[in-house]
């Protein structure tokens, strides 16, 4: 393999924009989700995030990383105000609209209207869901952990309710995301359609004979 070597200094010396693309993409594919929130007056907000991460299944906890809050950010503020948010996976059919939610719309503009995605409301969580999303989680805020290393935040929520397209749920509980054309993202602008290669059995240490 013909590899190029970078030490920390070489990475820090990169042009800012180059380093941003480089570090955001080199570390691998990520999921992309739309986080739906509403402020205390009920004004809805929607924004794309690529840092949604599984924290645990029992209790069901999901987190995401929020950048340092240097300018007012609606998702972060709304979650702090109301204690709830939704996570909506993105399909091939809506990825362009989903991407557009990252634009810096004024706080009084709802990205649902700006991007023509439909807001839908659930049963237990006041935050809005994306009607076009086949996999949706309604979350209550558990904790916000400031990350000292760089001023970002790990926002952790507990799943209060879920809506999933019925045909995606296999008999053993496996959710077959590829059947719904759920997309993945690398960095902030490379959108992919993942393909299932194979589902493998639980790995065990081979028996010695």
Q: Would you tell me which residues interact with ligand FMN (CB under 6 A)?
A: 32, 45, 47-51, 64-67, 73-75, 99, 102, 104, 185, 188
In the complex, least distance from residue 73 CB atom to ligand FMN, rounded to whole angstroms = 4
Which residue, 36 or 122, is less far from ligand FMN as judged by CB? 36
In the complex, least distance from residue 205 CB atom to ligand FMN, rounded to whole angstroms = 37
CA torsion 100-28-71-111 (nearest 10°) is 20
3-state secondary structure of 191: strand
Which residue, 48 or 117, is less far from ligand FMN as judged by CB? 48
Which residue, 182 or 185, is less far from ligand FMN as judged by CB? 185
Residue 47 CB: number of other CB atoms within 10 A? 21
In the complex, least distance from residue 7 CB atom to ligand FMN, rounded to whole angstroms = 27
Which residue, 131 or 188, is less far from ligand FMN as judged by CB? 188
Integer Cα distance of 8 and 174 in angstroms: 40
Integer Cα distance of 96 and 34 in angstroms: 12
Determine contact, residues 71/77, Cβ cutoff 8 Å. no
């Amino acid at each position: 393999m013909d590899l190029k070597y970078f030490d920390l200094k070489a990475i820090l010396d990169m042009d800012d924009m180059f380093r941003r693309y480089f570090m955001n993409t080199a570390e691998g594919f990520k999921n992309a989700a739309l986080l739906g929130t509403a402020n205390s007056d009920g004004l809805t907000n929607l924004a794309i995030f690529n840092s949604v991460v599984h924290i645990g299944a029992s209790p069901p906890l999901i987190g995401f990383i929020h950048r340092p809050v240097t300018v007012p950010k609606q998702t972060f503020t709304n979650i702090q105000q109301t204690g709830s948010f939704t996570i909506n996976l993105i399909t091939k059919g809506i990825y362009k609209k989903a991407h557009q939610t990252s634009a810096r719309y004024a706080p009084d503009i709802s990205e649902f209207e700006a991007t023509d995605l439909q807001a839908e409301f659930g049963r237990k969580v006041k935050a809005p869901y994306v009607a076009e999303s086949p996999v949706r989680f309604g979350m209550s805020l558990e904790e916000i952990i400031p990350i000292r290393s760089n001023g970002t935040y790990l926002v952790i929520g507990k799943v209060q309710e879920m809506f999933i397209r019925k045909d995606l749920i296999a008999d053993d509980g496996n959710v077959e995301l590829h059947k719904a054309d759920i997309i993945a993202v690398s960095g902030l602008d490379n959108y992919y359609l993942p393909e299932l290669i194979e589902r493998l059995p639980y790995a065990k240490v081979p028996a010695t004979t």
